[in-house]
Chain A
């Protein structure tokens, strides 16, 4: 076990040395914690309207003020974070599963299946992901389901490409030949050898994709093609508050900062994970 422990401590040391990576982990953990725990502590209904107290600035009762319907903005930002992040995570998980699955099999079986999958991937890659998300959202209309679709589909090709190259490389490794030499079936080789050895860089890609997903979910919400009001969502809150920027700038700053910091956090976390896999070298 000694080697394993020392390589782990080495990784931790490297993580700490790299302040930006540390910041990334901190941001992601912090934001997730706030969004998960926040609504449990600040038990205010984000949907409850109160037309007497509409468009108020920060007060003790409403630390971030209220929106045009008198809804508590702090509660909306906290719940909105859950919505934005959950949709992002679900979208990335779908893209990861579909994309990596296709890539894994493509790189392993090669032949016509690989050619077909990679053609489709190339076509999808020809569009900038944000544009593709917009097109899908515009075609399908707003709503949670369509947002997930619009965010996950553009993320699929990168996962497919990455996992395919992992799959191609690992299939050539001697331990795969050794596994076949003891009578393993192709599907077992795939799931026991190729997948676990190839998944590392996919987690890096997942983190980066999460940053993009947050941007897209909030962006779609912002332009009215994402999650529909009155459900809270960071992008949608931002666009609501924007009109009253001068009366209550906090209402713009806080969701804006939440979006930016999440994107930054996931990107830095991606870098950190990248470093971590370099430490693992031997894989």
Chain B
């Protein structure tokens, strides 16, 4: 694929804790320019670790033990520190879950947005200021001059998340990674922020990786979806196909949880990632388990829909 802005191959992330935790176990996917990719899955299945890995931000004790991440063809995992910094915030940017804690509490909003510009080559102060005002208007914060002088604690959660989005999109990156960007917000604010993300990424042409444990959010925003379980992709495909004809028992359970009538939680819990997982990781919770499930299922199907399950094949 020539217009791929992000290519992840066989990503493995391990935390050198005692015992070591293999949080991501062979994730691979490709993101086309302007595409909207959702990542769903229960909490603890490696979504955030994957997100931070996409910016080369996995910190000790965590380590990317294997794999490749290319942003517009540039390999991150072998990049020099300075090159990596040049890519972050300009080619790939991130919006975090909790806007209350992701802004520096002692720096003014305008200054923090301006920083992103300064560090990526905006020499002229006047044009930086104008860009900051433009960005604040773009993310729907009226009276940008006053807002720019505000400190984070003077803004609501929704406003802060707008500021985070302004920072992330300041240099019009090719990829925007949003890790549960609305989980910490009220439902009404959530809808506004999602609309804003959709609108702005469409305008700037940024592809988006939207991580959420809420399938309804992904259904609303994304074109394609990856279903994560225990550090792996168990099902992937277009949102239309996957949500209409889920093949993996886990995806079905998640959809039932999100859209079903009785919305019962999936019995059991995800596996302990510190122990060796052999065979299908979902097997202990799966009602359709067969003998073959003690072998590793591989992701199979067609481009628009793939599943890793011995029973639920793509139709």
Contacts and interface: CB of A to CB of B under 8 A. Distances in A.
Contacts of B104: 175, 179, 192-193, 196-197
A182 B89 contact: yes
Q: Interface majority SS on A: helix, strand, loop or mixed?
A: helix
Given A4-B151, A173-B101, A177-B57, A183 B96 contact: no
Interface stretch (B25-33, B113-121, B242-250, B262-270): B113-121
Interface in B65-88: 82, 85-88
B154 A178 contact: no
Nearest to B154: A3
Interface residues of A, number: 23
Contact of A182 (B101, B150, B154, B167): B167
A183 B86 contact: yes
Interface string B177-220: 00000000000000000000000000000000000000000000
Contacts of A4: 151, 153-154
A184 B154 contact: no
A175 B120 contact: no
B93 interface: yes
Contacts of B89: 181-183
A3 B159 CA distance: 15
A192 B153 contact: no
A184 B52 CA distance: 15
A174 B98 contact: yes
A3 B152 CA distance: 11
A180 interface: yes
A3 B93 CA distance: 31
Given A183-B120, A185-B85, A282 B115 contact: no
A192 B115 contact: yes
A178 B105 contact: no
A168 to B, nearest CB: 13
A3 B150 CA distance: 11
B88 A183 contact: yes
Nearest to A283: B105
A196 B88 CA distance: 23
A179 to B, nearest CB: 7
A126 interface: no
A178 B96 contact: yes
A4 B120 CA distance: 32
Contacts of A178: 94, 96, 102-103, 164, 167
A251 to B, nearest CB: 48
14 contacts: A2-B154, A174-B101, A177-B96, A181-B55, A182-B119, A182-B168, A183-B87, A183-B119, A184-B85, A184-B119, A185-B85, A196-B104, A197-B106, A282-B153
Given A178-B167, A283-B105, 10 more contacts: A1-B150, A4-B153, A178-B103, A178-B164, A181-B94, A182-B116, A183-B85, A183-B90, A184-B115, A282-B153
Interface of A: 1-4, 173-175, 177-185, 188, 192-193, 196-197, 282-283
